[in-house]
Structure 1
Amino acid sequence: MPDQAKEDALKGYREILPPNVSLGEATEAYKEVDDVAYAISRLPLGAPRALKVICVGAGFSGLAFAREVELGNLPNVSLTVYEKNASVGGTWYENRYPGCDIPIHNYQSYYAPAKDIHTYIEAVADQHNLRKHVKVSHKIIGARWIEERQKWQVNIVATDGRELMVSNRVNKDGEAGEPFTEECDVLINAGGCFNDWKWPTIPRRETFKGQMIHSAAWPKNVELKGKTVALIGNGSTGVQILPNILDDVEKVYVYIRSKTWVTASFAQKFAGPNGANIFFTEGQKRHWAENPDEYLQYRKEVESELNSRFLLYLKDSNAQREALGYSTSQMTEKLSSKPEIGEKLIPEFAVGCRRTTPGNGYLEALCSPKVEIIWGGIDSFNETGLLAANGEQRDVDTVICATGFNMSFSPRFPIIGCKGVSLQEKWDDNPECYLSVTAADMPNFFIYLGPGSPLGHGSVVSSLERVTEYIAQFVRKLQTENYSSVVPKPHIPRAYQRQALAWLDKTAWSSNCASTYKNGKPDGPLISLHPGSRLHYFELLKHPRWEDFDWTSLCEEEDLIFAWLGNGFIVEECKEKSEVDLTWFLPPVEAAKMIKATF
């Protein structure tokens, strides 16, 4: 263990040590052997040394970790969350397009619009006192692991305060002032995978003179009333946008290159007629607020319904066959006024190969006289509009690009780990990741929604909460068991990815379609998805497999590996007045099960 790392650790231990050594308090055998072991010997078992954590991004993930710290679940952790945008919210600060297709039960309606989701996140930050941990308008531009310090050096630059900062490797717009460096013991990348958005790769895009909008950077005050609009893309976002702008626009040209399933609503039996949205009344919301047990039961029923649908993602299952038949029937019925649309839109690939999209009102919108579908590719942009591959020109006022994100998972800023290994270079080739949270050669580094997360099944928020609990267990172990660093064993992410890809081959996601899950390629590897249901994922996160990791002790001698057992007492025993039950080992016993005396 390098001397500098030991000195840093001793400083942390001294902050929680009493100033003077009491008689019999320390293990004197360690006094001349190892300074760290001697310091720990004065502490009760479980006393946490100080750690500094830096988190990238203040969306759902970053705020979930901040709440873990704020609740006191990680005592003696100093946290800074750096957020490149002007406020918290992450994806839902940036994605303001009209529409939502996942039932989320914390809002004003069954399918919440982006504005309600962002308002909720802001309320979470305020009500849980999380903003004190967050520095907005600061962008992480690099990180390097310093082996001799057992710390990360993180490079940060302030922005000019603009509302939205683009997240990719090349764009430096909005960066202001001189970069500065901070050190931390633990680095968490909570930057997410839904904010490195992609413009369409169509020639001469810059020549268009009208308004151009990307769905992932939707302006606050978009005026589409009476406009002629081109909508590029029929993935989940484009499907949500069309019915939500139809009433305002004069005309919409919808450019469709790929077939897609427009499916039944998620947990449809809880939605409105035919899967329509439900707007909760003030009476309903008040009743739930006054009866939290009923509200919890409602939430559980919705989540249970979402969980029960995972079987359809197995491409040879009865559930998949039923979904195929039902979806075909529903789409055909909703497109009955224009059956020629169904002939070109209904796919041959499995339901779920592309992200399943309820698309409330989308098929009906395609049949509207306001809508004209342009099938196939786009040749180029020009000053007044778009030239389709079939030679047809359409002049428009506004172009909406619902063209998705870069889902390569390779980080947007350089991250250099052990022995100079670049995570960017490594993951550009193949993003091997263990449980979507840790990576080889990257000590004390954790990721939210990395490669292999359950993006394809239900809302990700519950997954983020489970990842938070998982990461917290590692941080606590580093704090209380005298370790300076932890990293997956070199073969673990590779072996885990092999298992994942082998399992995913039998799923609907592996069908022949261009999807977000394959970063837009029909034959791309399914590196983005977890090999199982989200309940399967949650179970794996409950109890970390410590044997899959290499741990570096702050004591050099192997025989001092148990120095963290400390002074022979636990923390609560050393308090004048404990607030926990120190007789927890005596469980309550029902009267009927009590052993009756026989003497």
Structure 2
Amino acid sequence: MEELREAPNGLSKEQIRRRLEAADHRVLLMSLFHMTGDEKWLQEPYSPVRDARLVPDPSAGLSTEVREEIRDAIAKHLVDPEVGTAIDDPGDQLMARMMSVCTGQAVPPEYADMFREDMGFQPDRLNSQLDLDDPVSHDVLVVGAGVSGLVLGAALKRAGVPFTIVDRNNEVGGTWLENRYPGVGVDTPSHAYCYRDAKRPQWSRYFSLGEEVQSYLVACSQEFGLRDRIEFSTTLISAQWNDTDRRWHVILEGPRGREERTTSVLVSAIGIFNAPSTPNIPGLDQFAGSIVHSARWPQNLDLTGRRVAVIGTGASAVQIVPQLSQAVSALHIFQRSPQWIRPIEGYRDRLPQGTQWLFKNVPHYEDWFRFSMFWRYGDGLLPSLRKDPEWPHAERSVNVRNDRHRQELTDYIEKKLSTRPNLIEACTPAYPPYGKRILLDTGWYDTLLEDHVHLLDTPIERVDAGGVVTVDGERHEVDDIVLATGFDVTKLAASLNVTGRDGRSLSKVWHGDNPTGYLGITVPGFPNFFCMLGPNTGLGHGGSAVFQSESQARYILDCLTQLSCRGVAALDVKQDVHDEYVRRVDEEHSQLIWTNPAMSTYYRNSRGRVVTVMPWRIVDYWRMTHDVSMSDYEVIPW
């Protein structure tokens, strides 16, 4: 039983009840059950109604009387310092029932142990120390101090594994440090986009802006005690496996110049969004004004009153354009193809006043709030992305549910742009929704209606000194160009110049743009080399990259534990194990929307193979990576 609590801030029962009015009642109900253990709270009339919106109705579909009864019961317990919590770990069976009640839908039982671990109800290897007779004999070099590098560093430090993190930047954060464009923010609910074992951030919004995320990552690097383990402004020039001493020989370039080192284990934590993609447009180098890539936004760039071209209409453009429109005199948006954009009520809303009080004072409220936000942005969409072989309209959708989504999104476009029929046609994609990364409406359609904003879907022919010329011969005079053209997402760790056994180059093994890996983490012929957020581990159907990183950090730590316990030098994934896994990935993708020929997407490489996103549910990948199977690996002795 949890330690007894004092009444929060000495508040009266009535004062507490008033503070509880700001709560999400589906979450509050779970807290009440933890506090009382009374199963009546898991039955009618207390059952919340299912709400699929990313920001749900806090009333949970419950009547005013029921909500008042729930708040009154919680206030009664909180005001009594003699009352603790009756249930801290519900166990799998009860956990599954609680999740189903909380969401208003049947949650499959296989999610129970994953969320029990995520919510801290049961221990997890990520938060453990190695119990070994001898000190850990393997040191680790982690390349990248972003989301993945920090969570792995924290796990290695707790486990007592010697390690160093290097990063090319002068601060932690990775993509959140580098992407500083106006409007940058998460498209994952904030409370799902944070580390499980760190102090929970006091997010101000349901979907936080980039500056807040970056500040959180800096704070985590301090909380984890990693600052003295990170070498900033340091780049990995090359890494080569040496079979003689069973170590990676690396060349680093940093403040002290170029130096050679060795390490037992090498980890790529550079992620997917680290190499900006610049379009090959004739004359771009002849432009007289400033050219800015969204991922390299100058800190003090002022575009007030300027005529600006934005090239691209993807995820970064959808966030940038509504912000730029408020300052520039003219905005020309050059679109190659339209995107499906999902409406989201409350996307930029701040969390209700008093929410932080609930997180601090109501037992397990923050745990279940995180679960609620994670669940509605998780695996529920994936079944609707599976191709129906009998579906007659494969060019526009992949099944009846996907077609319904298409109609809903089309209706939204037509409603928002009803006064501009020409824009409706230009903004309605021809490919199935969710076939490319789905975008969230941050004011995109409203911005397109502004008089000084012009959406152009005629292809660009060239750029000259003072403007952009389209293939119809029209010239658009602009002072500045913003490249919202995304990233080169296929090189991944191959950009690090890694050479494995027998002199094999990772770039050549991956044929330039065809990265593969067992579980997206290990590659045959590259012993003791691990990728984080590697091939086919992205989340095309929803979820949290932070959660993925935690799953992979857990797996890597288990591999290191096996090395130390067995007294061996290295692990190298077997070729047949890798190949069978890749075959399964490709086979599963052949049945999913991302291989639909009706569109092009950065999820696929030049061969048409899906290389970035995974075809599995989050819970499936969590289970695959939870414990290493030593039979998958060749054990290399000292």
TM-score of the two chains, using structure 2 as the length reference: 0.73
What is the letter of the counterpart of residue 518 of structure 2? Y
Counterpart residue number, 1:314? 386
Q: Is the Cα contact below 8 Å between 2:570 and 2:635 reproduced in 1?
A: yes
Q: Is the Cα contact below 8 Å between 1:64 and 1:464 reproduced in 2?
A: yes
Identify the match of residue 480 of structure 1 among 528, 550, 565: 565
Counterpart residue number, 1:93? 177
2:137 equivalent to 1:54: no
Give, in whole Å, the separation in 2 of the partners of 1:263 and 1:315. Answer: 21
Q: Is the Cα contact below 8 Å between 2:149 and 2:165 reproduced in 1?
A: yes
Counterpart residue number, 1:146? 242
Q: Is the Cα contact below 8 Å between 2:413 and 2:427 reproduced in 1?
A: no
Give, in whole Å, the separation in 2 of the partners of 1:180 and 1:147. Answer: 21
Residues 527-566 of structure 1 mapped to structure 2, 5 A cutoff: 527-554=611-638
Q: Whose RCO is larger (CA < 8 A, sep 6+)?
A: 1
Counterpart residue number, 2:414? 332
Counterpart residue number, 1:66? 153
Secondary structure of the 2:440 match is coil
Give, in whole Å, the separation in 1 of the partners of 2:139 and 2:505. Answer: 23
Identify the match of residue 348 of structure 2 among 277, 292, 296: 277
Q: Is the Cα contact below 8 Å between 1:311 and 1:320 reproduced in 2?
A: no
Give, in whole Å, the separation in 2 of the partners of 1:292 and 1:197. Answer: 44
Counterpart residue number, 1:233? 312
2:519 equivalent to 1:423: no
Q: In the TM superposition, what whole-angstrom CA distance separates every residue of 1:506-554 from its partner, at most 9, and x where no partner exists?
A: 21211222212125x6x62101121212222112111223211111234
- Listed as ranges, the gaps of 5+ residues in structure 2 are 1-130, 192-200, 389-398
Identify the match of residue 82 of structure 1 among 166, 169, 181: 166
Q: In the TM superposition, what whole-angstrom CA distance separates every residue of 1:204-231 from its partner, at most 9, and x where no partner exists?
A: 2111111211111112222122221111
Counterpart residue number, 2:206? 110
Counterpart residue number, 1:249? 328
Q: Which structure's CA Rg is the greater one?
A: 1
Aligned residues with identical type, % of pairs: 27
Give, in whole Å, the separation in 1 of the partners of 2:472 and 2:550. Answer: 48
Secondary structure of the 1:516 match is coil
User: For the structure 1 residues 153 and 306, does the alpha-carbon distance in structure 2 shift closer, same or farther, using more than 3 Å as the test?
Assistant: same
Q: CA deviation at 1:292?
A: 5.8
TM-score of the two chains, using structure 1 as the length reference: 0.77
User: For the structure 1 residues 487 and 374, does the alpha-carbon distance in structure 2 shift closer, same or farther, using more than 3 Å as the test?
Assistant: same
User: For the structure 1 residues 426 and 547, does the alpha-carbon distance in structure 2 shift closer, same or farther, using more than 3 Å as the test?
Assistant: same
Residues 93-492 of structure 1 mapped to structure 2, 5 A cutoff: 93-97=177-181, 98-100=183-185, 101-105=187-191, 106=201, 107-158=203-254, 178-265=257-344, 271-272=345-346, 276-280=347-351, 283-291=354-362, 293-307=364-378, 308-316=380-388, 317-410=399-492, 411-429=494-512, 430-456=514-540, 457-492=542-577
Give me the CA root mean square deviation.
Answer: 1.8
Give, in whole Å, the separation in 2 of the partners of 1:484 and 1:83. Answer: 26
Q: Is the Cα contact below 8 Å between 1:48 and 1:476 reproduced in 2?
A: no
Give, in whole Å, the separation in 2 of the partners of 1:418 and 1:482. Answer: 21
Secondary structure of the 2:145 match is coil
Q: CA deviation at 1:150?
A: 0.5
Count of residue pairs the alignment pairs up = 481
Q: Is the Cα contact below 8 Å between 2:246 and 2:569 reproduced in 1?
A: yes
User: For the structure 1 residues 264 and 533, does the alpha-carbon distance in structure 2 shift closer, same or farther, using more than 3 Å as the test?
Assistant: farther
Give, in whole Å, the separation in 1 of the partners of 2:381 and 2:363. Answer: 26
User: For the structure 1 residues 535 and 454, does the alpha-carbon distance in structure 2 shift closer, same or farther, using more than 3 Å as the test?
Assistant: farther
Give, in whole Å, the separation in 1 of the partners of 2:579 and 2:464. Answer: 46
Q: CA deviation at 1:178?
A: 4.0
Secondary structure of the 1:96 match is coil
Q: CA deviation at 1:47?
A: 3.6
Q: Is the Cα contact below 8 Å between 1:409 and 1:450 reproduced in 2?
A: no
User: For the structure 1 residues 292 and 313, does the alpha-carbon distance in structure 2 shift closer, same or farther, using more than 3 Å as the test?
Assistant: farther
Residues 490-505 of structure 1 mapped to structure 2, 5 A cutoff: 490-505=575-590
